């Protein structure tokens, strides 16, 4: 919308002023509708964010112990989250509590040996899901005797 100063407004005749007023009223109504739509969208986004936040449990500082071994930390994250996780997801849950991962340029490389050690000791297992890159890490109790993931945990895998 073009804004006119007082002198330019005085030079307009009555019909031009009425037309400008009507255009401004239409413009204001469009802006109100956009504002209402934006408020509704924001409300839905906030509600969806809350729903997703409740779906993923938060690891509280009081539950997490930095003195644990890395293997115990990884097992703790898996048992707390209660779903198969990729190594990047494990990092995302541990990172806020570990200074060494917070300032690492390559947190995946920093945690990788610890994940492999946990697999080597049998505390966690690798689970390959067809059509995905990498492995999901699971607790041994989440697999049946045939090595297939129990449905309760398989349905929780996020793609």
106 located within any domain: yes
Determine contact, residues 115/124, Cβ cutoff 8 Å: yes
* CA–CA gap between residue 9 and residue 19 (Å, rounded): 12
**108 and 49 assigned to the same domain:** no
**pLDDT band at 4; cut points 50, 70, 90:** low
**150 and 89 assigned to the same domain:** yes
User: Does residue 5 carry a pLDDT above 90?
Assistant: no
How large is the average pLDDT for residues 98-114?
89
Determine contact, residues 92/81, Cβ cutoff 8 Å: no
Q: What range does the domain containing 79 cover?
A: 70-154
Q: How confident is the model over 25-77, as pLDDT tens digits? A: 999 999 999 999 999 999 888 888 777 666 666 677 678 888 899 999 999 99
* CA–CA gap between residue 70 and residue 73 (Å, rounded): 5
**123 and 97 assigned to the same domain:** yes
**86 and 142 assigned to the same domain:** yes
39 located within any domain: yes
**74 and 150 assigned to the same domain:** yes
**50 and 77 assigned to the same domain:** no
Sign of CA dihedral 118, 120, 123, 127: positive
Domain count, the chain: 2
User: Does residue 20 carry a pLDDT above 70?
Assistant: yes
6 located within any domain: no
* CA–CA gap between residue 66 and residue 100 (Å, rounded): 11
DSSP-assigned letter for residue 13: -
């Amino acid at each position: 919308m073009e804004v006119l100063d007082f002198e330019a407004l005085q030079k307009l005749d009555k019909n031009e002023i009425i037309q400008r007023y009507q255009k401004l009223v239409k413009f204001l109504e469009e802006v109100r509708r956009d504002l209402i739509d934006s408020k509704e969208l924001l409300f839905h986004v906030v509600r969806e964010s809350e729903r997703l936040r409740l779906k993923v449990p938060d690891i509280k500082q009081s539950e997490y112990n930095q003195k644990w071994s890395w293997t115990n930390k990884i097992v703790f994250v898996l048992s707390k989250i209660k779903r198969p996780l990729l190594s990047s997801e494990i990092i995302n849950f541990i990172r806020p509590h570990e200074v060494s991962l917070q300032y690492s340029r390559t947190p995946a490389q920093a945690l990788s040996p610890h994940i492999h050690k946990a697999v080597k000791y049998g505390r966690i297992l690798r689970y390959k899901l067809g059509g995905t890159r990498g492995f999901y890490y699971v607790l041994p109790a989440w697999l049946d005797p045939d090595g297939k993931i129990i449905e309760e945990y398989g349905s929780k895998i996020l793609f």
